[in-house]
Each structure stands twice: as structure tokens, then as C-alpha cells.
Amino acid sequence: MNSNKEISPSEVSLSQADKNDLKLLCAFSKRMRRQSINIFPVDETEIFEKYRAYDTNKLNLFILKHKKSIVGCAGYLSYNGILNSKNISGIIASSGIVDPAYRKLFPTATVLLGNSYKTLVLKQKLFALFFPLDEEMALAYKKRPFEHFADIYRFTNPFIAKINPTVESSLMEIKKINRFDKKDMDKFFKRVSSQHYFLMHTDSIFLNRKYANNPFRNFTILTATIKTKLVGYIVVEKIGTDIYIVDMVVDLDYPSAMLHLMFKSFSYFDTGTITNTIICVTHQSYVDILKKSGFFCSWKRECLFFPGVLNFFKISKKDFDSSNKQLYHFNGFARHLY
């Protein structure tokens, strides 16, 4: 941008992206990466597969265009989850960013994107979660009005994969799987819902689409069972020299399943090449186990939500505000996936 003249709203268009916008989205992504903002892939096919709306050529991305260039976007991924033991459908806001060069020239850009989310969640009655990329985006969304939902903490351990202690159990079986079984997962999530006030991904169809059927990522999936009873699962991915625990839920009546799953997952990698093991969590029981295992908090990120949707799920604002935030579990949240 060479001009310092403020852009008029009439010069900017807001729309839902489709396949015809893929080249422009790639160009926008590359432009942002040159500013160290990694919002989404630069490959057209990968962008389409990640944000593809079911049975259409539309993408789950709102885009702002100025002079045939994309200057901002706000994406979302669908999910089914649990809130206060009730099934919910929602979206996870993803890749929300306005080109820094345009923020002063078009101050209402973030407001437009925020309103797009608001219209979507009210129309489709969705429980929406937002992870703003920076404080400016967070402040803009809070005026829409989105509110604080929870803080997510990233825990890091540079040693545990190298030490990789052998922890055996005569009762618990840890095995690698290729797909999630619907019957097992439905029973599992129903049983653990009382231990987790909030869970993000509680649908085997979604889990398989995200982890088992994803041609662009290489996930390792393990389950923990006692006899025939599923007591936990883990999804890990190696990115560069780091191991990311991108999704993990355990039955907290069997907390040792968390360590059994984690240690077993290391056996599928060359541990001598691993720099850090990383996981994002909020639930206090998981945090306690991680701290005892040598993990430390390396950063905190805020999650926002739109409180107006609580009525859709017959949850009062008073009950929600008094809920125990330490029982929220952001399974499936890994920064590099959103």
C-alpha cells in the first residue's frame, strides 16, 4: 500500500469465498507469511480441503476484497461438542486476520469480519469459539459483542520424549488405530462428559475427517483400553523437530491413561531428533499431570465466544458464569492447525 488515504467502505466487498478465490487466497497467505503471519496453507488444494463447505464449491471463509486483492479473511471449522453435558454444534473461528497495511486505512475491517461471524452463529444457532491472532483483533471482536470464554495454555517439555520412560500396565492396552469407531467413541464421550464441562470434538465423523482422512497431515492415533472399555485416545503429529499432542481425551477415573498414551506415542518417532513435546490445555486435571511430568507453560491464548447463543442450548448466563472453568478441555486445539 503506497497511499495513506483511508479506504471507503464502498471500495471493499465482503463475501463468502469459493473455488474461484483460491489463487487470491494463496497470494494473500504468501503476503502474510512474508510478515511472519502464518494464517493458513499456501497450497490451493489444501486450502480447499480444509475449508470446503459440504456438497458445495463454497469455502467456510469470509473474505474482504479491495481492488481485486484479498485484504482480510475470517474462516471457520465446524464441530460437534459437549457443554454442561449437553450436545452442541458450533464453529471454531480460524485464520481471522486483516492485512496490517490496511488496518489504519480501513479501521472497520475487523468489525465487518466480526459481524459476519455473529450473523452466521445467530442464523444457524451455533456455539462459536474465537481465537484472535493478536490483541487488536481481540479488542475488535469484544466490541461485537464477544466475551471471554477461557484461557488456553501451551505446555512444553524439552526432555520427556528423550527420556521416554517405559510405563507398562498389565490392565491397560495401548494400540495404534487408523480410524475412530463410532460406537466406541459415542460411549466414551457420553461417559466422560460429566468430567469435562466443555469438550470440543465429540463426533467420530469429525475426528475421522480431521485426523484419519486428512491427506495433508501425518497424524498418529492411539487408544487406551481396559478389557474392552475405551479410557482415552491421543493424536500426535511431528512438525519439524517438535512433537505436538494435537488432541487427547482420557477418562479421568483412569488418569494414568494420559501418560501411557503419551509415552507410547513417542515410540513411533526417532526420539533423538525431537526438540520439544507441546500440548495446549485448560482442564486442571490435565495441567496437574503435565506439571508433575516436567511440562511448563510457554504461552497463554485467549478464547472468545458469543454469549447470545447460550439460549439456543437452554443454558442460563448465570449458570454458565458460575461454571468451573478448570473443567474446560480444548481437545483438538493445536495452534498450527488453526
Dump pLDDT digits (tens) for 51-74.
888 667 889 999 999 988 999 998
Of 167, 180, 182, 153, the closest CA to residue 265 belongs to 167
Give domain 154-302+312-337's CATH number out of 3.60.20.10, 3.40.50.10490, 3.40.630.30, 3.40.50.2000: 3.40.630.30
The predicted structure's pLDDT at residue 36: 83
- Rounded Cα distance between 124 and 321, Å, is 24
Low-confidence ranges of the chain (pLDDT < 50): 2
Buried residues in 96-128 as b, exposed as e (16+ CB within 10 A): bbbbeebbebbeebbebbbebbbebbeeeebbb
CATH architecture entry for 9-145:
3-Layer(aba) Sandwich (3.40)
- For the chain, where do the domains classified as CATH 3.40.630.30 start and end? 9-145, 154-302+312-337
The pTM of this model reads 0.86
The predicted structure's pLDDT at residue 128: 87
Element (H, E) at 231: strand 229-239
Residues sharing a CB contact under 8 Å with residue 213, sequence separation 6 or more, in sequence order: none
The predicted structure's pLDDT at residue 72: 92
Residues sharing a CB contact under 8 Å with residue 56, sequence separation 6 or more, in sequence order: 18
Of 123, 122, 142, the closest CA to residue 132 belongs to 142
